[in-house]
Structure 1
Amino acid sequence: MDARIQQSVVANLRNRPVPLEVGPFVIGTDPTTSSPSINYATPRPGAAVTAADVAALVAAFRAAGRKPRLEYVTSCAPGLEALLTGAGFVVEARHTYLLCVPGTLRTPPALDHVRLHEPATDTERAALVGAQNEAFGGDPVASGADVARLRRQQGAGGVAVMAVTDGGTCAGGGGAAPPAGGVSEVAGIAVRTPYRRRGLAGAITADVTRRLFDVGVEVAWLEASGADSWRVYERVGYRPAGGRLYIALS
């Protein structure tokens, strides 16, 4: 399963506006943002990597004007961390990823006064991205590039879900990457502060996941940012499966 998850990361990065193939690595870059959570690299699962490959990767990042950074499933490149740290990279985080398959998904009860649906207009997309940004401590006003990025993701087969109150406020949302090989990453599950502790994060996660399974996705995966979100994801059917590494050159 680790190899399938890692291959889905490769596919996600190849869907970036300007993907770069550098030896055994794929870098996904987006000229509209310098965000390291969007511009990063990953190795192809099982590919042999040398110190020269790492040097070429760093040079490619520098040429693109982006910070050298990688995210990957550790078992798919067991010797890579040592090469990276030897080149000056520093570990940012080690995460456990969680999986859900159709047989384990649990749909929580419907919530009163909140409707979940996919954004169909740029106004709705801006509301969703703004709610996500606010929930994660960022600028609550979505940029045109943010909206275009979400529109492009939906157009490529990705999922986006927004939670809208009876009063028309976007309380939160989430999404998933375009499926690749029957696998899709669920990400960006966010709830604005006034609407937390009501089961909304679980409802959004389950709805995004169900939409993936409805179109034939076999495996959905995600990462939890802390104990609270871990519990939310487990309640709707996600289970811990493997390790991922976040590492960057300072």
Structure 2
Amino acid sequence: MNTDVRIQQSVVANLSHRPAPVEVGPFVIGLDPTTTSPHINYAAPRPGTTATEADVTALVAAFRAAGRRPRLEYVTRCAPGLEALLTAVGFAVEARHTYLLCVPGTLAAAPTPARLDLREPDTDPQRAALISAQNEAFGGEPAASDADVARLRRQQDAGGVAVMAVTGDGTCAGGGGAAQPVDAVSEVAGIAVRPPYRRRGLASAITADITRRLFTTGAEVAWLEASGEDSWRVYERVGYRPAGERLYIAMR
């Protein structure tokens, strides 16, 4: 099985684990009633399937019925004709991101900056602190909702990974996480460092630590996306290498 297919299968499986998934023809929509975030409520095609115009029409209708904006994320080589079908009915490309892979043989250690400790959050207040740090780093509302905390707790309970960087006084400087592995494949995401702690190598340390934890549980492939040159350098530094492209596309 090639890498693109393994990545796409892991995405579809994780969407299927959302609280209210919906299957529409070759698509799986991962719906979460606790949030309207398009970054959580989106669809992906199953690899090896071919969508028709009727499938796309049904997909849009299912999103509308759920009160969510029609949106997809997927590995482009797994559905080469899908983009044309989607754009023909009013979808527009949001972004194309390169995804990078890391395997145990390429993972490189990265030192944790002085006076910071990397640990897994094991209480809800710690989870809330991690989410708040991520929100701040990404320019969102710092407060973490109860639903956000519950979502992270479910991810950990299902076998996913979460890591937070903590100062001596308990302040969360940043963190990230990874979904539960599916067929030994897992996505690393949400790598974030709050502004006062940047330019010290913390993002590299967090990424390496999350990836190491995944591999110790038996994962064989970790993957993530790079949205800019700075993040690209961070990920390559700890052993990630470019492998393919993912498309983000949503109805206007």
In structure 2, distance between residues paired with 1:73 and 1:67 = 20
1:100-138 deviation per Cα after TM superposition (whole angstroms, max 9, x unaligned): 000000011232100000000000000000000000001
What is the match of residue 17 of structure 1? 19
Q: For 1:139-218, list aligned pairs within 5 A.
A: 139-218=141-220
Q: Does 1:58 align with 2:60?
A: yes
Q: CA deviation at 1:202?
A: 0.3
1:243 corresponds, among 229, 245, 251, to 245
In structure 2, distance between residues paired with 1:32 and 1:225 = 27
Q: TM-score by structure 1 length?
A: 0.99
What is the match of residue 75 of structure 1? 77
Q: Does 1:99 align with 2:101?
A: yes
8 Å contact from structure 2 (residues 185, 219) kept in 1: yes
What is the match of residue 228 of structure 2? 226
How many matched pairs? 250
In structure 1, distance between residues paired with 2:172 and 2:163 = 10
**Partner SS for 1:18:** coil
Q: Does 1:125 align with 2:112?
A: no
Unaligned runs of 5+ in 1: none
Unaligned runs of 5+ in 2: none
1:184-225 deviation per Cα after TM superposition (whole angstroms, max 9, x unaligned): 000000000000000000000000000000000000000012
In structure 2, distance between residues paired with 1:222 and 1:210 = 14
In structure 2, distance between residues paired with 1:25 and 1:158 = 24
Percent identity of equivalent pairs: 78
In structure 2, distance between residues paired with 1:149 and 1:177 = 11
In structure 1, distance between residues paired with 2:231 and 2:124 = 28
Q: TM-score by structure 2 length?
A: 0.98
In structure 2, distance between residues paired with 1:130 and 1:7 = 30
Which range is displaced more, 204-213 or 109-118?
109-118
**Partner SS for 2:21:** strand
AA paired with 1:115?
D
8 Å contact from structure 2 (residues 112, 201) kept in 1: no
In structure 2, distance between residues paired with 1:77 and 1:11 = 17
8 Å contact from structure 2 (residues 133, 142) kept in 1: yes
Q: Runs (4+) of structure 1 moved beyond 6 Å?
A: none
Instruction: Please report the RMSD computed on the Cα atoms of aligned residues, expressed in angstroms.
Output: 0.5
Q: CA deviation at 1:11?
A: 0.8
Q: CA deviation at 1:141?
A: 1.0
What is the match of residue 113 of structure 1? 115
